[in-house]
């Protein structure tokens, strides 16, 4: 809880959480999201945005450590667009729970919030000036 004198020096910053790493204690997405397609050609599972891919160079599954590649007929594989985890498609088809949740969180409908307490009103103005310049670049 902030002291009444500190309130004028508090900045509330709202930002998109794209590419932000998840905290280990964050829960996984609800089970009803498993296997649901949001974008054509992608499958959502435990926060992953999985896309079908074929590997023709040495690559291993990050779940079972077996090869994901073959020169001529590679096994069906999936790769997350966010965290780049690579797994056999059969792990998802069999609804195996051994695929770890995605470590990269992105929800375009959600903004993150950060509260910043500046030491002085001048420092607060410096933060506002710097952040305004960064925002204008986008």
The secondary structure of 64-77 as a DSSP string is T--B-B-SSSPPPE
**Residue owning tokens 């959600």:** 110
pLDDT tens per residue across span 117-129 = 999 989 999 989 9
pLDDT value of position 26 = 46
Domains, in order of start, for the chain: 1-17+107-138 (2.30.29.30), 38-104 (3.30.60.20)
**Measured between alpha carbons, how far is 128 from 134 in angstroms, rounded to an integer?**
10
Find where tokens 């470590």 sit: 103
Structure tokens given for 20:
């932000």
Angle at 23 between CA 105 and CA 47, to 5 degrees: 30
pTM for the complete prediction?
Answer: 0.53
Query: Residues 55-109: pLDDT tens digits?
Result: 999 999 999 999 999 999 999 999 999 899 999 999 999 988 888 888 886 666 6
């Amino acid at each position: 809880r902030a002291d009444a004198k500190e309130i004028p020096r508090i900045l509330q910053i709202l930002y998109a959480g794209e590419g932000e790493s998840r905290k280990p204690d964050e829960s996984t997405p609800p089970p009803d999201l498993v296997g649901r397609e949001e974008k054509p050609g992608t499958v959502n599972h435990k926060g992953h945005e999985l896309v079908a891919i074929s590997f023709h160079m040495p690559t291993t599954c990050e779940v079972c450590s077996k090869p994901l590649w073959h020169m001529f007929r590679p096994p069906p594989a999936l790769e997350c667009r966010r965290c780049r985890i690579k797994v056999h498609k059969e792990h998802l088809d069999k609804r195996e729970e051994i695929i770890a949740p995605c470590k990269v969180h992105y929800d375009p409908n959600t903004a993150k919030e950060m509260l910043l307490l500046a030491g002085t009103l001048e420092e607060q103005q410096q933060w506002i000036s710097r952040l305004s310049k960064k925002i204008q670049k986008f």
